[in-house]
Each structure stands twice: as structure tokens, then as C-alpha cells.
Structure 1
Amino acid sequence: MSSATHHLSNGTPFPLGATVTDHGVNFSVVAEEAHQLYLCLFDQDGTERESLPFLNKRQGVWYMEVLGLTEGQHYGLRAKGEFNPAQQQMFNEHKLLIDPYAKLLSDKISWHQDQAAMTKEGQLHSVDSAYCVPKSVVRTVKSDLTRPARVKVEPASRAIYELHVKGFSQNLPIDDDLKGTYLGVISEAGIQHLQSLNITTIQLMPCFSFMTERHLQSLSLTNYWGYNPVSFFAPEPSYAKLDAITEFQHMVDGLKTAGFEVILDVVYNHTAESEINQSSVCFRGLDNARYYRHQDGQYLNYTGCGNCLDTYHWASIRLICDSMRYWVEVMGVDGFRFDLGVDLGRTDHDFSPNAPLLQAILQDPVLSQTCLVMEPWDIGPNGYQVGQFPNGFLECNDQYRDTMRRFWRGDNDLVAAFATRLMGSRDYFHKGHRSALTSVNYITYHDGYTLRDLVSYHQRHNLANMENNRDGHGDNISQNFGVEGDTDDQNIQARRLNQQLCFMATLLLSQGTPHILGGDELSHTQHGNNNAYCQDNEITWQQWQHLSSAERHARESLQSTISTLLALRKTYPILAEIHLEDDALYRHTHLDHIQWLNEQNLPMTEADWTQSERHYLSLVLTTADLSSHIWIVFYRADKAITVPLPTKGHPLETLYQTPGMSLAGKALECAYRGVFVGKY
């Protein structure tokens, strides 16, 4: 390393990160307990040219300006301080560190044993890690007011579609250099498909730069989902042709131009540094004891990923809010879905809806106006908090998922629970306090079976994950209709497709905000793998071509159901959010009406509600102005019944029906299980 050739000036503590100035670059980094912080400058070939000690430290922030530096400079950090793992002090000058605020990294990061701050024996690891850690890159990324504005989505119309950038575009009939990329998502084929569904909101699976876990790398597998971030600012480079920042922005712009709201699945609860004896590539080396939760010399692993960010500490709160504003104001997203969100609402240890990070987000004039979807659990103490987040957050509702799966599987004693979930889970999202739209309803999510596998497999089939089929959920509330996995039996194929249609119709006719797993509309199968986080291959990539006639029929039926019912939700907002007189939240508005009916089209009695093996339930939703009466029927048995119509002489218009449902004169013929929607 040569002697220093750059002149330094005091600089400023904010903004954090690397900022190009009129005379060079200002660097600012939080490392409260470090004795000294060093800025290491590298050339494009990865050779370290200079190591410059930071000049100033104020309230835990190190800062200085390096004169003469320009855009594109590669750099890293080294922190000097106490090495005492028992006290969570992990400073090690031999480990090159990524700037937490770096907007761009020189390469995708891979795990290497030389990234560890300590040896297997617990001693300081003296091997220099610069050769196996990507460099931070000085990059100015400014907001551009000429880019497409946010698409205004009415909450009652919102329908979320969960999309994996690579899985969606890898097999699309597009140019090879676009496959698996940000730009592939907005190819003509990609946009046409998304628009055909009538969805409003694209939920992108994680796009923060992420790393494959050590144990996966040893098995020659990769982290496919991306829930293992190394940076909260730098976009994942493997999804880009050339420039991840610009291409991510172009993807967002293309989706907005096509009429979509875009929200980003974000992981702020842990990082890829994992357990204390693994990588020290960023936060651990800068200030392990401050950035990560710990007690009695041990990490508090509330995430199951080896570490969890201390979101009660000011530096983490600032980091997360700064990251969110960057992705909104500069990268262009319209909101966020928070992985393991209870960790974001923990104080010292316990969850509180008044936790400082949650309140910081809600008071922020930018962030509070975005779409905020919370996964309301982690694996820590009191980690299940569905319905407990403050107003302003939507919440993923696994109670909805489980009840609907059990109902359509035929489990007993479920009609009352089914109705509760159908009407927005008011036992969790209480009347008078939160809208039914707070409940993000789903049948399937990325973690678990696809919709097709839910009706095709009774047991998980995860051997490809190389964990002896022990990973993933053991109880999936699924059924296979007599055969495990794929079959040529056309009767079973028809029953499975009908069940998928029943699930999808129920989801889109439920009060709340629907969430659709990307690929379910394609009847995509993962061959029974319910934990495909490490399968970057044909198991997870969507198939678009070379389909059998049965596959084409299934896709056409599912896509028609989604498109038709989402159009109905937009035409009749009462399907998403009904305004009832016993809900004080709506006392200021005109009130709608609901009536529950049995198979004789008589009002449901207490005996009907408590009937253990009840298979039929219907309801009539009447708008406040009495202009529309919408009759919705759910029937889950496979023997034919005939139901009189509730129209009292008025003509009934069919709005949607699954294959076993049909009108015959003054009756509805239910040949077998299905869903019917009519209007009079």
C-alpha cells in the first residue's frame, strides 16, 4: 500500500454514506464503539491503494471529506477497536467492511471463511478479507421528477401479486439477455400477462443485494428467494444486465407506466452476516454490540437466521428509515412488505405497537403515505402479533389462510370461522378501530405450497433441498384427491382444478386485501416442494411455453377467474369493504347490509351456524343505495343439491360461477363443490 496522496478536510457527519461534493467525496459512517475507523481506497482491479484514518467522530458518527475523489471510486472500511466476543465486541482491522449506505457494490457477495472476524477457536482471525469482499462504489443516485408518478390505487381495489424477478422472467419468450432480469419483467410479454389479470399492485420479492448462506454454498445450492441481505441500499446485481441501479429504476418505471403500484419485500430484521462466527463484512465489524440484539454474551436470534438487527437502537432506526426513503424517493417504489415484522416492533425485547421504529415510519411525511404491509410475526417471545400493529400497516393474515384451507378440505365445525375470515377477520382487526382492508388475505405465499401443489400433495417433497426432507412445514392443510403428485387421471385433474378455482374465488370475494402468489394463475407446480428457497431452477421458474392441453385449460380457467373477480371488486367495492351499522368506523357514511342464508334461502339460524358438517353457506350483500344485491354462494360437498333463488321475482344475472354451478329456472343447481356470484 502506498503512502497517502489525497488531502483531507473535516467534512460533515450527514448525510451518512459517500456523498460527492464540489471538491471530492464526503464519507460518514456510524461506528459508536470503534477506537478508529479507516477508509480504504481501491482501484478497479481490487488492489488497495490507500488507507486513510477518519478525522472526526461526533455522537458515534465518523466523518471526513477526501479531496480529489470522484464518482465511481471503489472503497471499503476497516474498524479498530476491542476484540472480545464474550462482550459482543468484534472489531478486527483485517476485515474489510461494506459501507452500510453504499448504493452500489462492485460484485455479488459470496460467503468465504476468511470473512469471519474470529477463528473456530474463538481467536482473532488475522487473514485479510479484502480479496473476498466486494467493494463499495461511490455512486450518486438522485431522484428524477420526470419519472412516472405513483399510480393511485384505491384501497378497496388493491390486489397484490407476489413476483420473483428471476422466476417470473427466466422462461418468458423474450431475448436471452433479458431472461431472469429486472428488464425482463417489463418486457412486452411480461407486461401483457400482468395487465391481463386486473391486479393493481406488484409485490417484488427481495431485491436488496443478498448472499447465499454458508450451508447452502457447501451443498452447491443458492439462496433463491433473497431473504438474506448484505446491504439495505444496493440492489441485487445478479438481476441486472449491466447496471443494477438504473435497470431496477427502469423496471419500476415500466410497471408504473403499465398502471401498477410497486411495493418491495424488504428484510430489515437480520443480515447475511448470520451467526457471530460467520461473516464480518459490514455491521458486525463496524459495531456488533450496537447493531445486533444480544443478551448475556449471546445473540437474541428472534429471526432464526443467526442474528437480528437491534431495531430499538437509534442507528438502526435511522438506517432503516433512510433506506426506505431512498427506495421510495430515488428508486421509485410505492411501498413495502416487511419480512418478520415483529422484530421491527420490539423495544428492548418485547413487542409494542408504540415501538420507536414503527412510530418513526408512521410520522414520516413520505413513508406514511406509502403502502405498508407487515408480516406480523417472528420466532422470538410473544412473536405472534396478528392484529396488533398500529393503524397505517396492513397485515398478512395466516388465520385466513388456514381457515380457508380447512374449509375447502372438508374439515368440520368451520362455518362460523369461515364467515369470520370472509368478512375481514374482525376478531383480529376489530370493528370500530381498523378497516377490513387491513387484513391481507392469502391462500398461498412464497413459503409453502403453490396453489396447484396444495391440491396435489399430502406430504412435502423437499429432498432437493438436501436436508433429508426435514425442512418446510409438516402440516400444510392440503389434500391430493387420491393420488400423490402428478397424474394422468382426468377426473382427478378436473377435481384439482375445480378446487383451485374455489380457493381463488373465495380469496377474491373476501373482505380485505387479496394477495396472489405469482405463478398460481399459471397452475405452477414445485412438485411438492414447500420450501423452495434454495431452488434456482425449473422447480421455481415459471413455465410459459410447451404446455399440454390440460395445462393450457387450467391456466385459462384460473386467469379468467382472477381477471373476472378483480374486475367485479373494482365495480362493486362492497365486495372488498362493506360498511355496516355495527362498525363505528363507518358511522359517518351510508350503510350497506348483509344477510346470511342457508340452502333453503332462509336466514341462517343458530343451529345452522353450529352444524358440525355444514357444507353450504351464502350471503347477500346490499349496497347502501339499494342499487345492487349481490348473492354469493359457497358449497363444498360433492353431491348435487338444488337451491332456490333469493331474488323474489327479480331476474338474477350471473357474474361468476365455477364449473359445477349453473342457473336452472328459479333455482341454482350445485352439481358439486363450487362458488357462484349473482346480482339482482
Structure 2
Amino acid sequence: MSTYTVNNGQPFPLGSSVTENGVNFAVVSEDAHTLILCLFDEEDNELQRLPFIAKQRGIWHMEVLGLKENQRYGLRAEGPFEPEKQWLFNKNKLLIDPYARVLTEKLVWHADQAAMTEEGELHLVDSAYCIPKSIVKTVLPAENRPKRVNVLPSHRALYELHVKGFSQQLPIDDALKGTYLGVISKEGLAHLTSLGVTTIQLMPCFSFANERHLEELNLKNYWGYNPISFFAAEPSYAQQDATVEFQKMVDGLREAGFEVILDVVYNHTAESDMDQSSVCYRGLDNAHYYRCADGHYLNFTGCGNCVDTYHSASIRLICDSMRYWVEVMGVDGFRFDLGVDMGRTDHEFSPKAPLLQAILQDPILSHTCLVMEPWDIGPGGYQVGQFPRGFLECNDQYRDTIRRFWRGDEGIIPLFATRIMGSRDYFHKGQRSALHSVNCITYHDGYTLNDLVSYHRRHNLANMENNRDGHGDNISQNFGIEGETDNTEIQSKRLNQQLCFIATLLLSQGTPHFLGGDELSHSQKGNNNAYCQDNETTWLSWQENDARKALQTALSSLMTIRKAYPILAEIYLEDDPLYQHMDADHIEWLNQFSQPMSEGEWSESERDYLALTLTSADISNRLWIVFYREDHPLNVPLPKNSENIEVLFQTPGMSIKNDTLQCDYRGVLLAKLA
């Protein structure tokens, strides 16, 4: 006999919400025959099972009178168990509320969480003992929250930051190390502010879980790209209350002048393959939450499942989640992991996909900073430049071309010029600004900048996959010795190459992305897939050295220059219809004689020198940018009509002497001509 009184309640809002007389619960499960609310005490003893008494439009709902804030609960769904039809209902499996704001603990994989046995039969073991409980929690925006920082698009520069990796070895109080609050420590903010970047891109902070194979190898999912909840904040980064401390981190970053965007994973969940965990979406509505065909998942993510972002329940879940992180948790935008899945209709990609359109028409979400990773591993999964306006896009074409140029690959000059001018072969003139191209040299998934110039091959044995994981071709260069070396000549060359990469990135048209730690010359010892290395491999080292000083100085100096001369980020060309309402700027490409590049020179396979001048429409600024990638000395005359020259930035091998640019070895120079 129930000790609780219930009534129909309301279908919205989804999840649990405190009412005047109790708590309202609303959960999507279109195919379940019965949905059951399970109440728990603080010792995780199951107190009561209450069947939902109302259902409309696939939403089960009821109000339970007398319940209060902080009540622990879970769900059980009864229905058909027919895996070939994607029905995996199993009342023995306790389920997390997809809309739960807070969970009692971090999810840890256990074999008893599976809905089916290895033989494909119904798994009869009750999983409540190994499932985090959802908590009824009213989460409100922080009081007196700093206003969103208004970042000019031409000033925007992203800094990718892992909460634990950034703060774990900072010289701060031990209690703050590896936490949300550690990021906004005095030392943390001082470092970030010194760089001049505008936007902190936080790596995933949704509550996530370790994959089964990592549990078996005694490794951890460090990056966090394996979410179980789209609302609950990751508890391992908190001292006590992850929700409150995440909000404090965001507010602290805003107060320091930063825009904050969150790397989000809406393309798959930690439930993985069909025979693994059934802890939330799979047990509630497997046939609708996940993409499937012919009795199998469509694994377009490489993670065992992919969310069916064409279904209304998933669209609503994702948009509700995004609004929560903006309005309540305080972020200013998102970076979407494997974003092509979000742009798929039934199976194919379309820029008019309902989820993308839902985001762009939303009065809240459409005003945030939206950065798309424009690929997944499914059919038609490479879509760089194809997302609708409103989304910036990570540009791996830029990354690969810039790496090839500085490595010395032949026949790369025309493509190099295209990339530094905004990749107009992908982000076409008249359609999208070059600022839609998010340019990077390094990202979390790959080499750090230090390793890019120190290793020729990946060194991933610590991942315990026999060095098979991670990219095999990194377009890297070790300058003669693999890995660390005491050879000062090689160290000097490696540092110079890193400076050339940073200068190229910040002197290119588009929006720059910088991997946190590159300015510290951080190395992962050649591991280019360190997703499971929660140790000093990935934790940033804050030891002072000459390389760190040079890299930080270059980054901060170039950021200051970039903000002072917006033409470096976005040039208004007369042949671009996007800017037909504006006065046109001017660009000229120059050879090593400071003469206009000829058609034949563009086709030279071994060309190592390329320069350009950018002249603003009002002729107030004329900038000369030089890229030279050979290590033999080269003397270059100054461009014509340049009686006065002011060097704004130069790498060590570049200097102006006797009205001549002297290139002692490879380098980059930026000068203002008059």
C-alpha cells in the first residue's frame, strides 16, 4: 500500500520539479507499458515504487504530494523485451532521469547494468545497487551574475582548457587542485588574463563515465567525452557541490573578462553498445533516443551508439539542456563534438536538419557562440563549410595545410595562401565570413605543439592498445631526434618552429583556437590520444623555463596586435559580395624580391617564401606579413612605397637591417609600412 498520495500532475517541465504541494515528475517513454517511480532514502534503501498514472504525447507524468527538495529517486520501465525491434525494457534495471540536475555519485560501469545477458536474454539482476540516484533539485542562476562579455567576432580567440589538467599542478592550495574553483584561483586567472585570449573553451563538464574497456584496464576517461547526463555537472571536479562550483567558475571567468563556452557531447552517451549499460535512455526509450536500423545501432560516432537527433524527444532534450547551461549555469556558448550527427535528418546530413534549425531560431541559443566540429564517422560525415550561418566550424584543412607548409612539403604554397586567407574554398565568398573558420594547429585529440615538433611517430603504449590508437599521420617533424633531447641546436629549432606556428595562426584570417598548455611548451611524451591518461602526461606543468617565456610572450603580443588591427582577422575584399556595402580593403601577394607573385611562381613546387600586404580601405594601415620556411639565409628588399617600417612582430631569425629584411633562417615577420 502506497504511503504517498499522487495526482496526474503536468507533462512539463520534464524531469522533477518542486511544486506547492510536492514534486512533479515528467518523463519521456513512448513505448513503455508502465513507468515506475522509485523513491530512495539517504542510505540508498528503496522506500517505495509508484507507477505513473498519466501519459500524453509519450510523456508520463504525475505529482507526488508531500515530497520535498533533495528527494532521491530512480525510474523503472516495463514493456516489451525484443532487441531486434530495439525494445530493451527491463524492470530490473534502475534508470537515471535524463533531466536530473544532480546525481548522488559518479556512474561506474558494472556488468549488472546491462539489460541483456551475453546470450541476448533478459538480464534479471536488479541494478539499483550500482546506479547513481537522481536528486530532486531546484537549481537557480547565481545571484548577481556578471553580464556576458561582449566579444567582437574579429577579436575572438579560443583557449581550450581541461578543468583538471589546467589546475591540478598549479601552485595553489591543494584543495583547489583539479577543480572548477582551481581554474579561477588567483594564479589561474592571472595566467589566462596574461595571454590576451577572449574565450575559454571548457572541455566536457557533463557528468561522464569510464568506458567498460577502460575499467578493465584500470584506466580512466580523462577527457570526458562519454556523458551519462546532459544536465548534471561532473562531480569529480568539485570540492562539494558541482553545480554551485561550476557556476562560480563561470562567473569568475566572466568577471575576469572572458567569454565561456562549453564543449558538449550530444552525439552519443556512455551507455555504448546495446549489450552494455542500460542506465538511462536505453531503458526508457531505446528505439527513439538512438539511431538504429535492421536491429542494429547506427554507430556514426565510433562510441557504440549515436543519439537520434532527428527525433522530437532528442531535439527537445538537447535544446532544453543547452538553455539550462546558458540560463542557469551561465555559459556563453557551446562547442559541439562530432556535430554532423546533430545535422542528420533520418540518416543523411542537411544544413536544414530540425535540430540545427531549432537552435538557430531559439531566442536564447541563437545569441550564443556556437562552434561545430563538422564531422562524424558515418556516411557523408565530412561537412566542413556546410553548416548554416550561425555556426563557426573547426577547420582541420587549415591545421593540416599549415603543418605541411612548415614541414617543408612541396607544392603547398597556393593552398597555404588559401588557408591563411580564411579557406574560401570551404567558407565561400558571399556566403560566410572567414571568421566562421575556426583555425587551429593543435587540439586535444592529437599532438601538443611541443610534441608536433619533437616526435615523428605516436607513442601511445600507455593507452594499452598496442600503439594502434590515435592518428598515424600527424604531419609532424622531430628535427633529427625522436622525443626529448639535450641538444641545444635542436631545442632552438623546435622552439622557433613553435613560434612560427603561433604566429601563422594569429596572423591568419578566421577565428584562432589555441590548445591550453601549448604556451607552456607542454609535452605528452608523444601520446597523441591521451584521453585515458589522468596523470602528469596531461596535467599541465607550470615550471618556469625560457621556452615557456618565449611562447607566452609571442602569444600575448600577437593577440594584442590582432585586436589593434582587425584586418588581420577579417579583410573586406571587393570581390566578396558579403562586403559589398563596405569600402574594400586591398591585398597583394609578393615574392622574395617584393614583386607581385607571377602565375609561374604560384606553381613552383619548392617555393619557400611568401609575403603579402594588407591595406585597409582608408589607407591608414598597410601591413606586411612574411612567411619563410627554409633555414638558409635570404635577403629580401622592402616592398615599394615603404619609406618607414615599424616591426610589430618577428621570430628570432628575422630582422630589418639597411632597408632589407634579413631572414637568417625560417620565420615570420609582421611590419607596418608607411
Q: TM-score, normalised by structure 1?
A: 0.99
Q: Counterpart of 1:240 in structure 2: which amino acid? A: A
Secondary structure of 1:678's partner?
strand
Query: Does structure 1 conserve the Cα–Cα contact (< 8 Å) formed by 2:267 and 2:306?
Result: yes
Aligned partner letter, 2:261: I
The aligned residue for residue 288 of structure 2 is 290
Alignment of 1:33-44 (within 5 A): 33-44=31-42
Q: Deviations over 1:26-59 (max 9, x none)?
A: 0000000000000000001111000000010001
Amino acid of the residue matched to residue 25 of structure 1?
V
Q: Look up the match of 1:265.
A: 263
The C-alpha deviation readout for 1:485-542, integer Å capped at 9, x for no partner, is 0000000000000000001100000000000000000000000000000000000000
SS of structure 1 residue aligned to 2:567: helix
User: Which residue pairs with 2:453 in the alignment?
Assistant: 455
Q: Residue 472 in 1 paired to residue 465 in 2?
A: no
Contact 2:234 2:242 in 1 (8 A): yes
Whichever residue aligns with residue 532 of structure 1, its letter is A
- Asked whether the equivalents of residues 109 and 211 of structure 2 are also in contact (C-alpha less than 8 Å), the reply is yes
Cα deviation, residue 365, structure 1: 0.5
Q: Which 5+ residue runs of structure 2 have no aligned equivalent?
A: none
What is the CA–CA distance in structure 1 between the aligned matches of 2:352 and 2:233, rounded to whole Å? Answer: 31
Indicate yes or no: 2:379 matched with 1:381: yes
- 1:92-130: CA deviations, max 9, x gaps? 000000000000000011000000000111100010000
Q: Deviations over 1:646-677 (max 9, x none)?
A: 15252100100000001102101000000000
Structure 1 residues 252-300: Cα deviation after superposition (integer angstroms, max 9, x where no partner): 0000000000000000000000000000000000010010000000000
Q: Structure 1 residue 591: deviation in Å?
A: 1.2
SS of the residue corresponding to residue 154 of structure 2 reads helix
Q: 2: CA distance between counterparts of 1:51 and 1:89?
A: 22
**Which residue of structure 2 aligns with residue 209 of structure 1?**
207
Aligned to 2:225: 227
* Aligned residue type for 2:344: R
Alignment of 1:91-106 (within 5 A): 91-106=89-104
- Counterpart residue type for residue 659 of structure 2: K
Question: How big is the shift at 1:143?
Answer: 2.6
Q: What is the aligned partner in structure 2 of residue 124 from structure 1?
A: 122
Alpha carbons 2:164, 2:237 under 8 Å: kept = yes
The one-letter code sitting in structure 2 at the alignment partner of 1:576 is: A
Distance 1:28 1:235 in 2: 21
Q: Paired residue for 1:321, among 307, 319, 326?
A: 319
Tell me by how many angstroms 1:144 deviates.
4.3
- Once the two structures are superposed, what CA deviation does each residue of 1:136-184 show, in whole Å capped at 9, x if it has no partner? 0011012346211100000000000000000000000000010000000
Mapped to 2, the partners of 1:413 and 1:501 lie a distance apart of 23
For 2:471 and 2:573, the matched residues in 1 are separated by 38
Selected match of 1:178 from 176, 179, 182? 176
- What is the identity, as a one-letter code, of the residue corresponding to 1:309? V
Higher alpha-carbon deviation: 647-656 or 562-571: 647-656
What is the count of residue pairs matched by the alignment? 673
Q: Output aligned runs, 1:434-513, within 5 Å.
A: 434-513=432-511
Q: Match for 1:575: what amino acid? A: L
Aligned 1:333-372 pairs, distance under 5 A: 333-372=331-370
Specify which of 644, 657, 660 is matched with residue 667 of structure 1. Answer: 660
Q: 2:245 matched to which residue of 1?
A: 247
Where do 5+ consecutive residues of structure 1 fail to align?
A: none
Aligned to 2:630: 637
Q: Which amino acid aligns with 2:359?
A: I
Aligned AA (1:522): L
Q: Which residue of 1 aligns with 2:611?
A: 618
User: Which of 590, 603, 608 is 1:597 aligned to?
Assistant: 590
SS of structure 1 residue aligned to 2:261: strand
CA shift in 2, pair 1:595/1:649, >3 Å: closer
Instruction: Calculate the TM-score normalised by the size of structure 2.
Output: 0.99
In the alignment, structure 1 residue 573 sits paired with structure 2 residue 571: no
SS in 1 for 2:84: helix
Aligned-pair CA distance for 1:569: 1.0
How many percent identity over aligned positions? 71
- For the residue of structure 2 that corresponds to 1:540, the secondary structure is coil
Q: Distance in 1 between matches of 2:9 and 2:468?
A: 54
Q: Distance in 2 between matches of 1:17 and 1:565?
A: 47
Counterpart in the other structure of 2:579: 586
Q: Distance in 2 between matches of 1:273 and 1:483?
A: 43
Q: Return the alpha-carbon distance in structure 2 between the equivalents of residues 515 and 285 of structure 1.
A: 39
- Please show how residues 35-114 of structure 1 align to structure 2 within 5 Å: 35-114=33-112
* Residue identity opposite 1:445 in structure 2: Y
